[in-house]
Amino acid sequence: MTSTLPAPASPDWWRDAVFYQVYIRSFADGGDDGVGDLAGLRARLPELARLGVDALWINPFFPSPMADHGYDVADPRDVEPVFGDLAEFDRVLAEAHALGIRVTIDLVPNHTSDQRDWFTAALAAGPGSPERARYVFRDGQGPDGAQPPNNWPSIFGGPAWTRVPDGQWYLHLFAPEQPDLDFTHPEVLADLEETLRFWLDRGVDGFRIDVAHGMAKAPGLPDVAFDAETGLFDDHGPDDPRLDQDGVHDIHRMVRRVMDAYPGTMTVGEVWVSSEERLARYLRADELHSAFNFRLLTADWTPEDLRAAVADSLDAVAATPAPACWVLSNHDRPRHVTRYGGGELGTRRARAAALLQLALPGMAFVYNGDELGMPDVDLPDEALTDPVWTRSGHTERGRDACRIPVPWSGSEPPYGFTTGATTWLPMPEGWAGLTAQAQAGDPGSVLSLYREALRLRRGVSGGLTWLPAPEGCLAFRRDSGLVVLLNLSGAPVPLPEGRVLLASADVADDLPHDAAVWLQA
């Protein structure tokens, strides 16, 4: 079954869309195994429509041994049984489309699972075989080849090379279960095109492209000048031979040629690079439609940092055809409630941050649970499942804390997430007030704030002009007349002129500290 939307009002629907990130394992379980799935997502689509999102990004749901929770893909053109099957995916697509929600999915081109047929064939075929040429196999260094081919570290910790029994080594920028493909091999590129067309023909509206700055490696695989202090996913600069190499742009041009044959579809790249200039190179007219700008995800809660994040991100795209693309949280980083201090303080700031994010020109990504004000959860060692925890020799706890299942209803774990008794990551006590059900009827809740912001946002358009603001505050105006004031000054500040549309905290004549307000000028 395929699914099509009525001709979109604009093929550029995505330029100011609000995308909702569905971390499929943690969004909603349609059964009782404690793992989220496509049936659970389908059942909750009406609630996402009520929230007012325009599109979904669904994290990988393809067959996978789950060494990296789905980012180790064993078959890019099928559905992992834990999450459902292709027929269930088609139903999700059709029902989302019927609700006016577009559906984008993850594309994981840089690597496969070590259980993909290609990789098992490569291991069996031996050194020098055509099967090995699809991956990055090399002989080791030293008299008996016992040293890895170069000094590259894996982004998850430890070396980026693993030795196989016949003595060769293969490259994996992430876990050993995620061997990197060699994109100079024509079959690898052709396979990516087949995957794109497979899902586009089914009716998906676009792709979030994983490690979109990966794929091409520096010719000759020279050593990297590695800074051991640099953390997970942080960019290692343009001299890093593992990432952001010129050859990657040819791959994006191929992807774009395919996408252009499906009008109204789009791509958003996960591009971690060292500067706004490097980011802009991915956004040329024949490459990605858009790329996450992670500056809001990494900015400190200070007026200087936030203003620079916004201004630099807008500058980055100004000379490209792409809109800006704003992210406060995702499945790889501590949630912003926690980043901003946690507890009441974190929630208060997160509410203000939401009004900042959703007022900015361009695309916005809401990570499942942002709309509830979900915090990270400290998990005991034995509950941790992220490969980062083991790969780092138990020095980095990894990303489980930001991937806790979403609380839907009730007063005890599993809060309506599953009909079973347990969840794949444990849910804490004390979340009765955080559930979607508890928040839905409360006009003061984070959920109500998001719903109202998404509703009002539909009337907001045009560019951003900075306005004069009291010390410690940011103020700007959108062309359509929305005025936004964010107060981080440490004290209440007077409200600007205009009719208050929405505020993250109670306002009278003043806007309190750590709060934001939307006004109609």
Active site residue 210: yes
Q: Which is nearer to ligand NOJ, 388 or 436 (CB)?
A: 388
In this structure, the number of other CB atoms found within 10 A of the CB of residue 334 comes to 16
Please identify which residue in 211, 283, 372, 434 interacts with ligand NOJ, judged by CB under 6 A. Answer: 211
Minimum separation from the CB atom of position 423 to ligand NOJ (A): 19
The one catalytic residue in 88, 106, 210, 244 is: 210
Using rule CB under 6 A, residue 136 touches ligand NOJ = no
Minimum separation from the CB atom of position 155 to ligand NOJ (A): 7
Q: Which is nearer to ligand NOJ, 172 or 478 (CB)?
A: 172
Bridge partner residues of 21 (DSSP): 57, 367
Pairing of strands 482-487, 515-520: antiparallel
The secondary element (H helix, E strand) that includes residue 163 is strand 161-163
Minimum separation from the CB atom of position 355 to ligand NOJ (A): 26
The helix/strand/coil state of 71 is coil
Between CA 442 and CA 436 the distance in angstroms is 10
Q: Which is nearer to ligand NOJ, 71 or 119 (CB)?
A: 71
- Binding to ligand NOJ by CB under 6 A, coded x per residue (else -) over 242-271, reads ----------------------------x-
Q: Which is nearer to ligand NOJ, 92 or 297 (CB)?
A: 297
Torsion of CA 37, 39, 42, 47, to 10 degrees: -70
Spell 307-332 as b/e; 16+ CB within 10 A means b. Answer: bebbeebbebbeebebbbbbbbbbbb
Minimum separation from the CB atom of position 410 to ligand NOJ (A): 29
Q: Which is nearer to ligand NOJ, 145 or 158 (CB)?
A: 158
Using rule CB under 6 A, residue 103 touches ligand NOJ = no
Between CA 160 and CA 386 the distance in angstroms is 17
**Contact of 311 with 317, CB cutoff 8 Å:** no
Please identify which residue in 29, 68, 88, 191 interacts with ligand NOJ, judged by CB under 6 A. Answer: 68
Radius of gyration of the chain (CA): 23
The secondary element (H helix, E strand) that includes residue 58 is strand 55-58
Using rule CB under 6 A, residue 210 touches ligand NOJ = yes
Q: Which is nearer to ligand NOJ, 84 or 179 (CB)?
A: 179
Using rule CB under 6 A, residue 71 touches ligand NOJ = yes
Which residue of the chain is nearest ligand NOJ when measured via CB?
Answer: 71
Between CA 493 and CA 235 the distance in angstroms is 38
Using rule CB under 6 A, residue 57 touches ligand NOJ = no
Between CA 511 and CA 492 the distance in angstroms is 5
In this structure, the number of other CB atoms found within 10 A of the CB of residue 70 comes to 23
228, exposed or middle or buried, with CB in 10 Å at 0-12, 13-18, 19+? exposed
Q: Could you tell me the two tokens for 245?
A: 């190499």
The one catalytic residue in 193, 277, 442, 479 is: 277
Q: Which is nearer to ligand NOJ, 211 or 484 (CB)?
A: 211
Minimum separation from the CB atom of position 52 to ligand NOJ (A): 25
**Contact of 157 with 69, CB cutoff 8 Å:** no
- Binding to ligand NOJ by CB under 6 A, coded x per residue (else -) over 318-337, reads -------------xx-----
Minimum separation from the CB atom of position 212 to ligand NOJ (A): 10
Using rule CB under 6 A, residue 272 touches ligand NOJ = no
Please identify which residue in 174, 367, 389, 431 interacts with ligand NOJ, judged by CB under 6 A. Answer: 174
Between CA 53 and CA 326 the distance in angstroms is 14
Q: Which is nearer to ligand NOJ, 338 or 445 (CB)?
A: 338
Active site residue 386: no
Q: What phi, psi does 28 have (nearest 5°)?
A: -165, 135
Between CA 176 and CA 158 the distance in angstroms is 10
Minimum separation from the CB atom of position 326 to ligand NOJ (A): 17
**Contact of 122 with 129, CB cutoff 8 Å:** yes
Using rule CB under 6 A, residue 180 touches ligand NOJ = no
Minimum separation from the CB atom of position 145 to ligand NOJ (A): 28
Taking phi over 0 as left and psi of -120 to 50 as alpha, with beta for the rest, 209 belongs to beta
Between CA 41 and CA 130 the distance in angstroms is 41
Minimum separation from the CB atom of position 210 to ligand NOJ (A): 5
Q: Which is nearer to ligand NOJ, 30 or 214 (CB)?
A: 214
List active site positions: 210, 277
Residues near ligand NOJ (CB under 6 A) are: 68, 71, 108, 174, 210-211, 270, 331-332
